[in-house]
A = this chain, B = another copy of it.
Amino acid sequence: MITPEEAESIIKLSEYVYSHEQISLDASLGRVIAEDIISDRDGPPFDRVAMDGIAVDFDVLYDKSEKNVLDIEDIQYAGERAKTLKNNIGGAIEVMTGACMPIGTNTVIPYEDLSIVSKQVTINTLPLSKGKNVHRQGTDFKNDEVLLKKGTIISSANIGLLASVGKSTVDVKSSPKICLFITGSELVNVNETVQSHQIRASHQYTLGSILRAHALNNFEYKIIQDDENLLRSYIEEALLGEFDILLLTGAVSKGKKDFVPSILESLGVEERFHKIAQRPGKPLYFGVFSNKKNVKNKMVFGLPGNPTSAAVCLRCYVIESILRAQEALYPKQSIRIEGNLYFKRPLTLFNLVSYSENNSAKIIHSSGSGDVISLSKSDGFVELPANINESPSGTYLRFYSWGNKKL
């Protein structure tokens, strides 16, 4: 059996850099930027009033004048072109937050330090320094500066920056078309009547949500009975169709109806590996289909049938591969574990964890890979390499999150 690192290297060999597409800024959250985002102007684009009050020329006020009573010449509102202070010794312009600083002024004295009677303002407290309460042009960023690097995953916090520089549409990496076939004659849909020997299919929800949490929304699924001909025709259709990635769950092991590997082989999918020295997720299958008509290879992942194994393999191999192909910039995360982790077997252990209240990862002791309750409580999983048997509470391990929000 190969190791997880070998599996990753084999998958990498079949990756190609994804193309890109223009999408509306509204739909861009979580997507990977395909070009450096460069400012088209300074930020702020002008010396911007940061407090409501009066704008004055600080130097003149201090050096050439002892006056603390000034005439208000005008009002400068936000959204107006900059006005000009005429009398910089005895005059001032009232200014509103967000406005341009009037020409000839450099400092704002806020209302709380002023008394205004009619058109005359008395300064009660002089500002401490020149430039006070002014958000100077270009202090956030300069024109022609790289604001977000190609590869950035667009977050709530940086989507506003894209708006600031006029990106009503954004050039992002394409999202693969993903097809999920859930195999198993015991499976019925959630809205159907379930008999005592049947199980309701849940992969489409769990795997679908994990994909969507990583902005992979281009996803279809089908539940297919263990019928060799039926399965073959669906797989063939998918391989010749528009999908970039075919995911299958179940039927990759040694059972009499585990048709997936042989069907894939007969349809020309080249097996690259089958089984990894890890728990859970050992039966993972990976193959590549290259249709001569297409330039792009199609990746085929045969995920194990049980929920935790399938979710771990999806996160660890499929999503990581897509992010690499999208050239996404993101650091590999590690996390401090709470609870001891022991695993003596020469396999890499992926262990479910949940966030503790102080942002560490509580080890979830699962009764087995079919334990949907443990999966349900988890926020992701940590990786204990095969050559390490023990990781005590407080140590750091590589962490994969399901991509869910955290409060």
Contact = CB atoms under 8 A, between A and B. Distances in A.
Given A41-B194, A77-B185, A164-B200, 6 more contacts: A52-B255, A52-B256, A77-B257, A155-B209, A156-B404, A401-B407
Number of copies: 2
A156 B402 contact: yes
Given A156-B209, A196-B45, A164 B202 contact: yes
Contacts of A160: 202-203, 205-206, 307, 372, 375-376
A213 B156 contact: yes
Interface residues of A, number: 120
A407 B373 contact: no
Nearest to A162: B205
A249 to B, nearest CB: 11
Contacts of A164: 199-200, 202, 372
Contacts of A61: none
A407 B186 contact: no
Given A79-B225, A157-B375, A335 B359 contact: yes
A139 interface: yes
Contacts of A212: 29, 156
9 nearest A-B residue pairs (beta carbon): A79-B185, A160-B206, A156-B209, A160-B202, A163-B202, A158-B376, A168-B191, A52-B255, A79-B186
B159 A205 contact: yes
A94 B201 CA distance: 24
A161 interface: yes
Contacts of A43: 372-373
Interface of A: 25-26, 29-30, 41, 43-46, 48, 50, 52, 75, 77-82, 94, 96-100, 110-111, 135, 139-141, 147-148, 153, 155-168, 184-187, 189-191, 194-206, 209-210, 212-215, 225-226, 250, 253-258, 305, 307, 311, 323, 330-336, 355, 357-360, 367-368, 370-373, 375-379, 396, 399-407
Given A197-B100, A213-B405, A256-B94, A334 B305 contact: no
A375 B331 CA distance: 19
Nearest to A152: B376
Given A166-B200, A403-B405, A256 B334 contact: no
B77 A256 contact: yes
Contacts of A97: 250, 253, 255, 305
Question: Which of A29, A79, A355 gathers most chain B CB within 10 Å?
Answer: A79
Contacts of A25: 190, 205
A161 B332 CA distance: 29
B50 A378 contact: no
A399 B359 contact: yes
A148 B373 CA distance: 9
A5 B120 CA distance: 40
A210 to B, nearest CB: 5
A195 to B, nearest CB: 8
Contacts of A357: 331-334
17 contacts: A44-B370, A77-B257, A97-B250, A98-B199, A110-B254, A140-B367, A140-B370, A140-B371, A147-B373, A155-B404, A156-B206, A156-B210, A158-B377, A161-B372, A164-B372, A214-B407, A358-B396
Contacts of A198: 45, 79
A185 B100 CA distance: 12
Contact of A157 (B135, B214, B377): B377
Contact of A166 (B190, B330, B360): B190
Nearest to A356: B331
A64 to B, nearest CB: 29
